[in-house]
Structure 1
Amino acid sequence: MVKVASASQADIDWLVREDASAGRAWVSRCVALGEYLVAREDSEIVGFLRFSRFWGKVPYMEMIRVLPDHRRSGIGTALFLAWEKAMRGDGTRLLMTSSECDESRPQDWHRRNGFIETGTIELPGLQSVPEVFFIKHIA
């Protein structure tokens, strides 16, 4: 059974290792601000969701990752649903996320979880393909 909770200081080393593109300073900042959720099975972390706030307001799911041996078992969805519930509890009515245009599996996952495509942006020098953005209205 998967349990999802906010990450704590004790989770930072694991998050730095598994969310390697973020770097220790960013991971520490996000943990301090409550912007990481971790999923545990038998008290072992098996996935995480990192978010921020677009324009300081709209919750933006930056990254969701499940360890390879635990994928396609509902852990990513459990992380997402816990995040959505928390954001709804904060009074949020709109969620955002994105993926690179050539990543069909993540895009399919976003759509299955109620997101709709809202536009793309090219980031020359940062990415080789455009980024597609998704939004989800929540009540």
Structure 2
Amino acid sequence: MIVRRGRSEDLAWLVDHDDASEDWIGRCIQFDEYFVAAQDGELLGFLRFSRFWGKIPYMDMIRVLSSHQRAGVGTALFRAWEDAMIEEGAQHLMTSSEWAEADPQAWHRRNGFQAAGSIDFRIVQPSPEIFFLKDISGVRGG
């Protein structure tokens, strides 16, 4: 398996597998805000990120095809993103999940994130959103 930045040739696959609009996906590819995992030329999953307040790397979405879940694809995507953000000099990583999503929360904690607060967005989703932070300030890129 290889993990790399998303490229324009990934657009159709990402449109089929991400909930974002095609325009947004294209914008994110243009700004290097996707990582994709591939094996034998087939995409297995992706990680899309942005920057909270224009500064803190924020993992917007990580998704792995159901046939490849629990095989290390998500962890490989996360590690590639984390390494890239360390190289760029980021001090923290940020992500979130809905309050009712126990499995994603456990995954965030296993990967070093700590809960940092929540916001009630029930006007657009059924439960509050929990935000997670990971301090990477002590890690230096090479």
**Match for residue 100 of structure 1?**
98
**Match for residue 21 of structure 2?**
23
Correspondence for 2:49 among 23, 48, 51: 51
What number of residue pairs does the alignment pair up?
137
Runs of 4+ in 1 over 2 A off after TM superposition: none
Correspondence for 1:40 among 20, 33, 38: 38
Q: Please give the secondary structure, in 1, of the residue aligned with 2:123.
A: coil
Which segment is superposed worse, 123-132 or 39-48?
Answer: 123-132
Give me the whole-angstrom Cα distance separating, in 2, the residues matched to 1:129 and 1:44. Answer: 35
Q: Please give the secondary structure, in 1, of the residue aligned with 2:79.
A: helix
**Match for residue 61 of structure 1?**
59
| Structure 2, unpaired ranges of 5+ | none
Percent of matched pairs sharing the same residue = 54
Shift of 1:8: 0.4
| Structure 1, unpaired ranges of 5+ | none
Shift of 1:93: 1.2
* TM-score of the pair, normalised by structure 2: 0.95
After TM superposition, the structure 1 = structure 2 runs for residues 112-127 of structure 1, keeping only pairs within 5 Å, are 112-127=110-125
Alpha-carbon deviations, 1:50-106, whole Å to 9, x = none? 000000000000000000000000000000000000000000010000000000000
* TM-score of the pair, normalised by structure 1: 0.97
Q: Please give the secondary structure, in 2, of the residue aligned with 1:76.
A: helix
Alpha-carbon deviations, 1:20-75, whole Å to 9, x = none? x2010100000000000000011100000000000000000000000000000000
Give me the whole-angstrom Cα distance separating, in 2, the residues matched to 1:39 and 1:137. Answer: 25
RMSD: 0.6
Give me the whole-angstrom Cα distance separating, in 1, the residues matched to 2:91 and 2:41. Answer: 32
Q: Please give the secondary structure, in 2, of the residue aligned with 1:11.
A: helix
